[in-house]
Chains A and B, each alone.
Chain A
């Protein structure tokens, strides 16, 4: 939950800096307490329910959206299947399901209802239009999203996330410095996946369901207070899920890009965090005044503390998998935000023709080529 809130802070900051602004600045040092302030604001706002709305569905849909977005995170493995924390075997995934990928798609495919039902039950034309648009968009792009992933499945021969990741271990035979991540053989698949994932999560440049210039707020026009916040959090949750999935399928999940032989790499997370702490300390002394100085000192100490903890011999090997995983996810989310801040929204007919006439054939072609390649190699 906190991660979701801070993702909104992160996004506002990045977009602001890309557009030469400062972003949230006044609530806490660098606006770090802004998400907290937003959360409190959402909680204390008046909760409106239209008398003409379908009450049950109106209340159900934000719950549906948020709970489904959270459920998918249970399927994501953050590290190797079994790690030893103080000698205890521990799993870094909540549910290691045999057909994990399919379950994830199943849950996200139900997630459409959150948007569609909120649009319908609000009983308002803007919401209805937003709901209609999003259901059409999500159906269209779900097809290419699923198809673009099948290439990876063919390569790995499994639906299980851990097996898919382990299949990407090692390096290419002829270029021994490039890790065997699926993004290289499946580059077209990755492009298709990423574009349809942006559309699937209703983010710019595909955020037509909530195009504020035409539809006020799209499907969540009539929602206020914490129900609105739930939609907001669901959107960010879906963003995280999609980025995690991209990391698992195309970027080797929790595998390190460095060779296994380099044992010193287990100190990388700790040293990286300590560097961050060092920069924060410099920033505190140099730029902060008054209350901001105290707040940033706390953050610095936290970063330094966690960094030192990561250097302990008992923790260092365990933290390595999650470190690489979260690092890759972070980069993908950054790319997501970057796209949003630079590209204008597409027109609706462009969206549809792009999805059906370009993305779908290309991902089908990718699938066929991959299948042929596999058959040629293992006749």
Chain B
């Protein structure tokens, strides 16, 4: 049991626990904060893999910007406590078994596939060449330039769409 191994389980537990709390919590703000916790735990996991850049960006973009906006909107709208409803029959009889099945399917795939094998053997030995900031930028801006630009145009369209919808409501 090396220290990174223990740390992995700590942060993985925090991430999963935060995700469960996110669904269970009744105050919208608490849910949002649990999501922040999940993001930070994920960043810590990236850090354990040696991907310093990705981990820092994860915190800056998701925990620091996106979630602050979420919290801001929740505060602005002053969203009240959620009402709790009972499990719907659909969820009880179809959803739960399906979820468990999915979990096992993923576990099975992880155990048998190539990625799963490397994770199990090396415990995610950091591949410095692949995670360094310089290597990442050459990958992103040379090899995968077209998908990158396509994504940014997609996001731009989404922003424009949101603007149009907001304008429509105001008139």
Contacts and interface: CB of A to CB of B under 8 A. Distances in A.
Contacts of B68: 109, 112-113, 116, 135, 138-139
Contacts of B59: 106-107, 109-110
B56 A103 contact: yes
Interface string A54-98: 100100000000000000000000000000000000000000011
B22 interface: no
Nearest to A120: B75
B92 to A, nearest CB: 31
Contact of B36 (A54, A107, A113, A146): A113
A285 interface: no
A139 B57 contact: no
B75 A128 contact: yes
Interface string B14-50: 0000000000000101000100100010010000000
A132 interface: yes
A110 B40 CA distance: 10
Given A106-B59, A110-B59, A139-B69, A131 B53 contact: no
Contact of A110 (B27, B29, B63, B75): B63
User: Which DSSP category, helix, strand, loop or mixed, fits chain B's interface?
Assistant: helix
Interface size class of B (residues with CB under 8 A): 20 to 34
Nearest to B56: A102
Nearest to B58: A106
B57 A132 contact: no
Contacts of B27: 54
A-B residue pairs, 8 tightest by C-beta: A109-B64, A102-B56, A106-B59, A135-B72, A99-B52, A106-B56, A106-B60, A109-B60
Interface of A: 54, 57, 97-99, 102-103, 105-110, 112-113, 116-117, 119-120, 128, 131-132, 135-136, 138-139, 142, 146, 159
